[in-house]
């Protein structure tokens, strides 16, 4: 009987310990899941955090002429338009001098565009057109063939086509009855009006390496990016070179393999998530009174007196005007707002805190 009683006692103790362990493990899993969810919400995709060397657009520009304007072109005082129109007519077989050109229906313009990376011959580009002379409007004109060159002097695209501001159906009066001529823009953006004529040779792989440039240079973020890449591929591929550059070695399986190409490697690389670090900074827009601060910004113990406002940052929290030690800028700004401080008061107080070395952050004015 005594052995059975001891056995039952041990059995119930074992059940209690098993239940306790199960509860403890479930709590740990819940905490781990919550931490992982919090980490994932704070993380950023690598494609939004870095720029890949060699994968960038290139600006191209050209000088062109818009013709067919309804008397809104450049005046005779625009010498550049006179010379450009005379040269155009000469190339077309009509020998004229700049003084013989009537430019009221012609306008000289500068055409700009962005040549995207890996653009192919025949691709269409968006262009922007801006007047050079004193033309009042480009509405209703036609851009003649304009060569667009890059910084190396080579022609990479050609633009040509009609210009439309979307107001022709309204006539001289706008849709609301207003006069369009008074608000006619002298800069126009037109989609798909240029054609790529030369391909810009670019590559994102250099000597078997891919270089990542952090958009906001930071040593901690560079370390985290390299660690995340090496952990994802279970191989030592990424090495941070400095606070803004991480060099990633192309793995062997991505070289000469049709099943896992360098493009596939880049697609996986872009989706790696990293939690970026940043400096403590407070941004102030004095014109609008906007104040933005990060989570790392704190205020050391200090007493503030500004007009009839008084706030003390210390250990006590018994009063509305007192806050605990190492409070955040957000708490301080909320307290100042509750006490009736305006945008100018907030800016002045934060600038004074920065001068007193009580604001542990970089103050940036816009």
Strands 281-285 and 362-365: parallel
User: Which DSSP state fits 245?
Assistant: E
For residue 245, report the phi and psi dihedrals to the nearest 5 degrees: -135, 130
Domain ranges of the chain: 58-196, 209-274, 281-365
Strands (E) in the chain, as ranges, are: 44-45, 50-52, 58-67, 107-115, 124-131, 142-149, 155-162, 187-196, 209-214, 238-240, 245-249, 273-274, 281-285, 290-293, 298-299, 302-306, 309-313, 322-323, 327-328, 362-365
171 Ramachandran zone, left/alpha/beta (phi>0; psi -120 to 50): left
C-alpha to C-alpha distance for 11 and 317, rounded to whole angstroms: 53
- Three-state DSSP class for residue 365: strand
Bridge partners, residue 62, by sequence: 111
C-alpha to C-alpha distance for 159 and 192, rounded to whole angstroms: 9
For residue 288, report the phi and psi dihedrals to the nearest 5 degrees: -105, -10
C-alpha to C-alpha distance for 113 and 109, rounded to whole angstroms: 13
> What is the residue-level pLDDT of the chain in tens, covering all 366 positions?
454 555 455 444 454 445 444 544 554 454 444 434 434 556 889 989 998 888 888 999 999 889 888 888 888 777 778 788 777 777 777 777 767 677 788 888 999 999 998 889 999 999 999 888 888 888 888 898 999 999 888 999 999 988 876 544 444 444 444 444 444 567 777 888 899 999 887 788 888 889 999 988 889 999 999 999 999 988 899 999 999 999 999 888 777 777 788 888 889 999 999 988 877 777 777 777 777 776 667 776 766 666 656 666 655 433 334 455 556 666 766 766 666 666 677 777 777 777 777 777 777 777
Bridge partners, residue 66, by sequence: 107, 143
Beta-carbon contacts of residue 74 (< 8 Å; ≥ 6 apart): 81, 103, 104, 106, 107, 108, 131, 132, 133, 134, 135
With CA atoms as reference, report the closest residue to 222 among 239, 205, 204.
Answer: 239
Residue 165: other Cβ atoms inside 10 A: 15
Structure tokens that stand for 2 in this block: 């005594």
First-to-final CA distance of the chain: 86
Structure tokens that stand for 335 in this block: 């307290």
Calculate ∠ Cα 325-329-333, nearest 5°.
110
Calculate ∠ Cα 208-268-278, nearest 5°.
90
The confidence score (pLDDT) of residue 113 equals: 93
CB 202 within 8 A of CB 54: yes
Containing 310, the helix (H) or strand (E) segment is strand 309-313
Residue 77: other Cβ atoms inside 10 A: 10
User: Which DSSP state fits 68?
Assistant: -
């Amino acid at each position: 009987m005594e052995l059975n009683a001891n056995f039952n006692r041990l059995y119930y103790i074992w059940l209690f310990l098993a239940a306790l362990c199960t509860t403890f493990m479930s709590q740990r899993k819940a905490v781990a899941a919550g931490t992982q969810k919090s980490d994932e919400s704070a993380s950023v995709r690598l494609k939004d955090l870095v720029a890949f060397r060699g994968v960038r657009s290139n600006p191209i520009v050209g000088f062109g002429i818009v013709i067919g304007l309804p008397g809104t072109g450049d005046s005779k005082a625009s010498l550049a338009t006179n010379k450009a129109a005379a040269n155009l007519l000469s190339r077309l077989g009509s020998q004229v001098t700049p003084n013989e050109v009537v430019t009221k229906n012609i306008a000289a313009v500068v055409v700009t565009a962005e040549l995207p990376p890996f653009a192919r011959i025949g691709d269409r580009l968006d262009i922007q057109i801006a007047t050079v002379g004193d033309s009042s409007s480009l509405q209703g004109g036609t851009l003649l063939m304009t060569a667009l060159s890059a910084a190396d002097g080579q022609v990479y695209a050609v633009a040509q086509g009609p210009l439309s501001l979307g107001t022709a159906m309204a006539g001289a009066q706008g849709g609301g009855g207003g006069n369009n001529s008074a608000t006619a823009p002298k800069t126009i953006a037109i989609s798909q009006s240029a054609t790529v004529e030369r391909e810009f040779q670019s590559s994102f792989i250099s000597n078997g390496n891919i270089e990542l440039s952090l958009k906001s240079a930071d040593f901690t973020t560079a370390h985290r990016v390299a660690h995340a890449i090496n952990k994802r591929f279970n191989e030592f591929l990424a090495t941070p070179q400095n606070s803004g550059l991480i060099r990633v070695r192309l793995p062997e399986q991505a070289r000469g393999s049709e099943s896992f190409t360098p493009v596939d490697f880049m697609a996986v690389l872009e989706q790696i998530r990293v939690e970026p670090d940043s400096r403590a900074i407070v941004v102030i827009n004095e014109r609008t009174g906007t104040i933005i601060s990060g989570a790392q910004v704190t205020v050391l113990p200090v007493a503030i007196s500004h007009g009839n406002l008084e706030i003390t940052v210390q250990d006590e929290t018994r009063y509305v005007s007192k806050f605990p030690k190492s409070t955040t800028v957000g708490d301080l700004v909320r307290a100042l707002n509750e006490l009736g401080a305006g945008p100018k008061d907030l800016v002045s107080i934060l600038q004074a805190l920065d001068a007193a070395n009580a604001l542990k952050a970089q103050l940036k004015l816009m």
